[in-house]
Amino acid sequence: MSHLLVKPQGTLGHVSHVTPQSAGWSYVGFDLHRLKPGETVSTPTGDREACLVFVTGKGDASAGGQALGELGERMSPFEGKPWSVYVPQGSDWAVTATTNLELAVCTAPGLNGGLPVRVIGPDDLGQEVRGKGTNTRHVTNILPENEPADSLLVVEVITPAGNTSSYPPHKHDQDDLPRESYLEETYYHRLNPPQGFGFQRVYTDDRSLDEAMAIEDGDVVLVPKGYHPCATCHGYDLYYLNVMAGPKRTWKFHNAAEHAWLTKL
Protein backbone atom coordinates (compact mmCIF):
# COMPACT_ATOMS: atom_id res chain seq x y z
CA MET A 1 0.00 0.00 0.00
CA SER A 2 1.24 3.48 -0.82
CA HIS A 3 2.73 5.52 2.01
CA LEU A 4 0.51 8.38 0.79
CA LEU A 5 -2.72 6.46 1.48
CA VAL A 6 -4.07 6.64 5.05
CA LYS A 7 -6.83 4.10 5.69
CA PRO A 8 -9.41 4.74 8.45
CA GLN A 9 -8.74 3.02 11.75
CA GLY A 10 -12.12 1.49 12.57
CA THR A 11 -15.58 2.98 12.08
CA LEU A 12 -16.10 4.94 15.31
CA GLY A 13 -14.02 7.32 17.38
CA HIS A 14 -10.80 8.91 16.17
CA VAL A 15 -10.62 7.13 12.83
CA SER A 16 -8.04 9.25 10.92
CA HIS A 17 -5.00 11.07 12.28
CA VAL A 18 -2.47 12.96 10.17
CA THR A 19 0.14 15.22 11.73
CA PRO A 20 3.06 17.05 10.13
CA GLN A 21 5.29 14.50 11.85
CA SER A 22 3.42 11.44 10.54
CA ALA A 23 3.17 12.92 7.04
CA GLY A 24 6.80 14.03 6.95
CA TRP A 25 6.00 17.64 6.17
CA SER A 26 5.63 20.98 7.97
CA TYR A 27 2.14 22.44 7.85
CA VAL A 28 -1.06 20.40 7.39
CA GLY A 29 -2.81 18.31 10.05
CA PHE A 30 -6.04 16.38 9.59
CA ASP A 31 -8.20 14.36 11.99
CA LEU A 32 -11.56 12.66 11.48
CA HIS A 33 -13.85 11.78 14.40
CA ARG A 34 -17.01 9.68 14.13
CA LEU A 35 -19.12 10.09 17.24
CA LYS A 36 -22.37 8.64 18.57
CA PRO A 37 -24.95 10.96 20.22
CA GLY A 38 -23.64 12.13 23.59
CA GLU A 39 -19.97 11.56 22.80
CA THR A 40 -17.59 14.51 23.01
CA VAL A 41 -14.30 15.41 21.39
CA SER A 42 -12.21 18.38 22.53
CA THR A 43 -8.67 19.69 22.32
CA PRO A 44 -6.64 22.89 22.71
CA THR A 45 -5.28 24.35 19.50
CA GLY A 46 -1.88 25.26 20.96
CA ASP A 47 0.24 27.03 18.35
CA ARG A 48 -2.03 25.88 15.50
CA GLU A 49 -5.33 27.15 14.13
CA ALA A 50 -8.22 24.80 13.36
CA CYS A 51 -11.24 24.58 11.09
CA LEU A 52 -13.88 22.15 12.34
CA VAL A 53 -16.00 20.84 9.47
CA PHE A 54 -19.29 19.09 10.25
CA VAL A 55 -19.07 16.58 7.41
CA THR A 56 -22.29 14.87 8.51
CA GLY A 57 -24.55 15.18 11.53
CA LYS A 58 -25.05 17.68 14.32
CA GLY A 59 -23.32 18.64 17.55
CA ASP A 60 -23.23 21.21 20.33
CA ALA A 61 -20.05 23.24 19.89
CA SER A 62 -18.01 25.60 22.00
CA ALA A 63 -14.73 27.35 21.28
CA GLY A 64 -12.64 30.01 22.96
CA GLY A 65 -14.96 29.99 25.97
CA GLN A 66 -18.02 30.68 23.80
CA ALA A 67 -21.06 28.40 23.55
CA LEU A 68 -21.87 28.21 19.85
CA GLY A 69 -25.02 26.09 20.09
CA GLU A 70 -26.02 23.14 17.94
CA LEU A 71 -24.35 23.19 14.54
CA GLY A 72 -24.64 20.91 11.55
CA GLU A 73 -27.49 20.15 9.22
CA ARG A 74 -26.84 17.63 6.50
CA MET A 75 -26.78 13.89 7.08
CA SER A 76 -24.71 13.17 3.98
CA PRO A 77 -21.72 15.07 2.52
CA PHE A 78 -23.49 14.78 -0.85
CA GLU A 79 -26.46 16.87 0.34
CA GLY A 80 -26.10 20.61 0.83
CA LYS A 81 -23.38 22.78 2.34
CA PRO A 82 -21.55 22.12 5.62
CA TRP A 83 -21.34 23.99 8.89
CA SER A 84 -17.83 24.80 10.11
CA VAL A 85 -16.07 26.63 12.95
CA TYR A 86 -12.82 28.56 12.75
CA VAL A 87 -10.76 28.35 15.97
CA PRO A 88 -7.55 30.43 16.30
CA GLN A 89 -4.33 29.34 17.95
CA GLY A 90 -4.09 29.56 21.72
CA SER A 91 -7.71 28.56 22.14
CA ASP A 92 -9.71 25.42 22.79
CA TRP A 93 -12.82 23.77 21.40
CA ALA A 94 -15.28 20.99 22.16
CA VAL A 95 -18.09 19.31 20.22
CA THR A 96 -20.71 16.95 21.72
CA ALA A 97 -22.63 14.93 19.15
CA THR A 98 -26.41 15.30 19.21
CA THR A 99 -26.81 12.88 16.28
CA ASN A 100 -24.33 10.53 14.68
CA LEU A 101 -21.57 12.97 13.79
CA GLU A 102 -18.62 12.98 11.45
CA LEU A 103 -16.31 15.84 12.39
CA ALA A 104 -13.20 16.78 10.42
CA VAL A 105 -10.51 18.79 12.23
CA CYS A 106 -8.25 20.67 9.81
CA THR A 107 -5.16 22.33 11.33
CA ALA A 108 -2.15 24.39 10.31
CA PRO A 109 0.31 26.75 12.02
CA GLY A 110 -1.08 29.87 13.63
CA LEU A 111 0.74 33.11 12.93
CA ASN A 112 -0.45 35.23 15.88
CA GLY A 113 -3.13 36.72 13.66
CA GLY A 114 -5.38 37.46 16.65
CA LEU A 115 -8.45 36.25 14.77
CA PRO A 116 -11.68 35.52 16.66
CA VAL A 117 -13.63 32.28 16.83
CA ARG A 118 -16.29 32.30 14.14
CA VAL A 119 -19.05 30.01 12.93
CA ILE A 120 -19.08 29.51 9.15
CA GLY A 121 -22.64 28.67 8.16
CA PRO A 122 -23.95 27.32 4.85
CA ASP A 123 -25.16 30.78 3.84
CA ASP A 124 -21.58 32.08 4.16
CA LEU A 125 -20.20 29.64 1.61
CA GLY A 126 -19.63 30.30 -2.06
CA GLN A 127 -20.09 27.52 -4.59
CA GLU A 128 -18.87 27.14 -8.16
CA VAL A 129 -18.83 24.63 -10.97
CA ARG A 130 -15.44 23.89 -12.50
CA GLY A 131 -14.65 22.07 -15.71
CA LYS A 132 -16.76 20.77 -18.57
CA GLY A 133 -18.17 17.45 -19.66
CA THR A 134 -16.62 14.52 -17.82
CA ASN A 135 -14.31 16.93 -16.00
CA THR A 136 -17.18 18.76 -14.26
CA ARG A 137 -17.06 19.06 -10.47
CA HIS A 138 -18.88 21.12 -7.85
CA VAL A 139 -16.81 23.18 -5.40
CA THR A 140 -17.79 24.62 -2.01
CA ASN A 141 -15.30 27.11 -0.57
CA ILE A 142 -15.21 26.77 3.22
CA LEU A 143 -12.05 28.73 4.04
CA PRO A 144 -10.77 30.32 0.82
CA GLU A 145 -7.90 32.79 0.72
CA ASN A 146 -10.25 35.79 0.67
CA GLU A 147 -11.62 34.82 4.11
CA PRO A 148 -9.54 35.41 7.27
CA ALA A 149 -7.21 32.70 8.56
CA ASP A 150 -3.49 32.43 9.25
CA SER A 151 -2.49 29.41 7.16
CA LEU A 152 -5.48 27.20 6.36
CA LEU A 153 -7.24 26.79 3.02
CA VAL A 154 -10.24 24.42 3.17
CA VAL A 155 -12.57 23.38 0.36
CA GLU A 156 -15.08 20.62 -0.46
CA VAL A 157 -15.54 19.12 -3.92
CA ILE A 158 -18.16 16.74 -5.30
CA THR A 159 -17.23 14.93 -8.50
CA PRO A 160 -20.13 13.22 -10.31
CA ALA A 161 -19.86 9.52 -11.14
CA GLY A 162 -17.47 8.75 -13.98
CA ASN A 163 -15.77 12.16 -13.88
CA THR A 164 -12.23 13.35 -13.27
CA SER A 165 -11.22 15.98 -10.71
CA SER A 166 -8.13 18.01 -9.80
CA TYR A 167 -7.66 17.74 -13.55
CA PRO A 168 -5.92 18.67 -15.81
CA PRO A 169 -3.11 17.61 -13.47
CA HIS A 170 -1.74 20.55 -11.52
CA LYS A 171 0.78 21.04 -8.74
CA HIS A 172 1.63 23.61 -6.08
CA ASP A 173 4.96 22.49 -4.65
CA GLN A 174 7.26 25.44 -5.37
CA ASP A 175 7.54 28.62 -3.31
CA ASP A 176 7.82 30.66 -6.50
CA LEU A 177 5.21 33.39 -6.32
CA PRO A 178 3.50 34.83 -8.22
CA ARG A 179 3.77 31.78 -10.51
CA GLU A 180 3.30 28.99 -7.98
CA SER A 181 2.83 28.57 -4.23
CA TYR A 182 4.06 25.79 -1.97
CA LEU A 183 1.06 24.06 -0.37
CA GLU A 184 0.85 20.66 1.30
CA GLU A 185 -2.54 19.02 0.86
CA THR A 186 -4.75 16.24 2.19
CA TYR A 187 -7.76 14.70 0.47
CA TYR A 188 -10.45 13.11 2.66
CA HIS A 189 -12.57 10.93 0.34
CA ARG A 190 -16.16 9.73 0.59
CA LEU A 191 -18.14 7.80 -2.01
CA ASN A 192 -21.84 7.50 -2.74
CA PRO A 193 -22.88 4.68 -2.54
CA PRO A 194 -20.11 3.92 -0.03
CA GLN A 195 -19.03 0.58 -1.51
CA GLY A 196 -17.64 2.39 -4.56
CA PHE A 197 -14.07 3.30 -5.38
CA GLY A 198 -12.05 5.73 -7.43
CA PHE A 199 -8.41 6.38 -8.24
CA GLN A 200 -5.85 9.05 -7.43
CA ARG A 201 -2.34 9.49 -8.78
CA VAL A 202 0.37 11.61 -7.12
CA TYR A 203 3.45 12.14 -9.29
CA THR A 204 6.25 14.55 -10.16
CA ASP A 205 7.65 15.52 -13.54
CA ASP A 206 10.75 13.39 -13.06
CA ARG A 207 8.66 10.48 -11.66
CA SER A 208 10.80 10.34 -8.52
CA LEU A 209 7.38 10.26 -6.88
CA ASP A 210 4.74 8.30 -8.80
CA GLU A 211 1.99 6.62 -6.79
CA ALA A 212 -1.37 5.43 -8.15
CA MET A 213 -3.94 4.49 -5.52
CA ALA A 214 -7.40 2.98 -5.39
CA ILE A 215 -9.41 5.26 -3.09
CA GLU A 216 -12.30 3.97 -1.01
CA ASP A 217 -14.84 5.53 1.33
CA GLY A 218 -13.07 7.18 4.28
CA ASP A 219 -9.54 7.17 2.83
CA VAL A 220 -7.14 10.09 3.23
CA VAL A 221 -4.54 10.80 0.55
CA LEU A 222 -1.43 12.86 1.30
CA VAL A 223 -0.07 15.20 -1.38
CA PRO A 224 3.40 16.38 -0.30
CA LYS A 225 4.32 17.49 -3.83
CA GLY A 226 3.56 16.86 -7.45
CA TYR A 227 0.43 16.48 -9.56
CA HIS A 228 -2.57 14.79 -7.95
CA PRO A 229 -5.56 14.11 -10.27
CA CYS A 230 -8.34 11.75 -9.25
CA ALA A 231 -11.26 10.01 -10.92
CA THR A 232 -14.36 8.18 -9.79
CA CYS A 233 -15.94 5.16 -11.41
CA HIS A 234 -19.31 4.90 -13.15
CA GLY A 235 -22.17 4.83 -10.63
CA TYR A 236 -20.27 6.38 -7.72
CA ASP A 237 -20.13 10.08 -6.86
CA LEU A 238 -16.94 11.21 -5.13
CA TYR A 239 -16.75 13.77 -2.31
CA TYR A 240 -13.47 15.06 -0.98
CA LEU A 241 -12.47 17.59 1.65
CA ASN A 242 -9.19 19.36 0.88
CA VAL A 243 -6.93 20.92 3.49
CA MET A 244 -4.00 23.00 2.23
CA ALA A 245 -1.35 25.08 3.98
CA GLY A 246 2.16 26.36 3.33
CA PRO A 247 4.47 29.29 4.02
CA LYS A 248 2.15 31.75 2.25
CA ARG A 249 -1.64 31.54 2.28
CA THR A 250 -2.36 31.64 -1.43
CA TRP A 251 -3.24 28.99 -4.03
CA LYS A 252 -1.18 29.43 -7.19
CA PHE A 253 -0.82 26.25 -9.22
CA HIS A 254 1.03 25.04 -12.29
CA ASN A 255 -0.65 22.80 -14.86
CA ALA A 256 1.29 19.85 -16.26
CA ALA A 257 2.66 21.13 -19.57
CA GLU A 258 1.71 18.07 -21.61
CA HIS A 259 -1.92 18.29 -20.44
CA ALA A 260 -2.39 22.08 -20.45
CA TRP A 261 -4.16 21.87 -23.84
CA LEU A 262 -7.16 20.43 -22.00
CA THR A 263 -7.85 23.82 -20.41
CA LYS A 264 -8.72 25.17 -23.87
CA LEU A 265 -11.46 22.63 -24.60
Which pLDDT score is estimated for 112? 80
- Please state the rounded mean pLDDT for residues 51-56: 98
* Model confidence at 180: pLDDT above 80: yes
Taking all residues of the chain, what is their mean pLDDT, rounded to a whole number?
A: 97
- Please state the rounded mean pLDDT for residues 226-244: 98
- Please state the rounded mean pLDDT for residues 242-248: 97
- CATH number of the domain where residue 134 is located: 2.60.120.10
Which pLDDT score is estimated for 91? 96
Contact predicate 59/92, CB 8 Å: no
* Model confidence at 264: pLDDT above 90: no
What would the pLDDT profile of 108-164 be if each residue is shown by its tens digit? 999 987 899 999 999 999 999 999 999 999 999 999 999 999 999 999 999 999 999
The pTM of the full predicted model, rounded to 2 decimals, is 0.97
* Model confidence at 207: pLDDT above 90: yes
**42 band by pLDDT with thresholds 50, 70 and 90:** very high
Q: What's the Cα-to-Cα distance from 143 to each of 15, 68, 132, 223, rounded to whole Å?
A: 23, 19, 24, 19
**24 band by pLDDT with thresholds 50, 70 and 90:** very high
Catalogue the long-range contacts made by 63-67 (C-beta closer than 8 Å, 24 or more residues apart).
63/87, 63/91, 63/92, 63/93, 63/94, 63/117, 64/88, 64/91, 64/92, 64/93, 64/116, 64/117, 66/117
Q: How many CB atoms lie within 10 A of CB 146?
A: 7
Catalogue the long-range contacts made by 205-210 (C-beta closer than 8 Å, 24 or more residues apart).
205/256
- Please state the rounded mean pLDDT for residues 226-247: 98
- Please state the rounded mean pLDDT for residues 168-172: 97
**1 band by pLDDT with thresholds 50, 70 and 90:** confident
* Model confidence at 198: pLDDT above 80: yes
The Cβ-side half-sphere exposure at 228, using a 13 Å CA radius, reads 21
Buried b (16+ CB within 10 A) or exposed e, 124-145: ebeeeeebeeebebbbbbbbbb
Domain count, the chain: 1
Contact predicate 186/242, CB 8 Å: yes
Which pLDDT score is estimated for 114? 84
User: Domain range for residue 47?
Assistant: 5-264
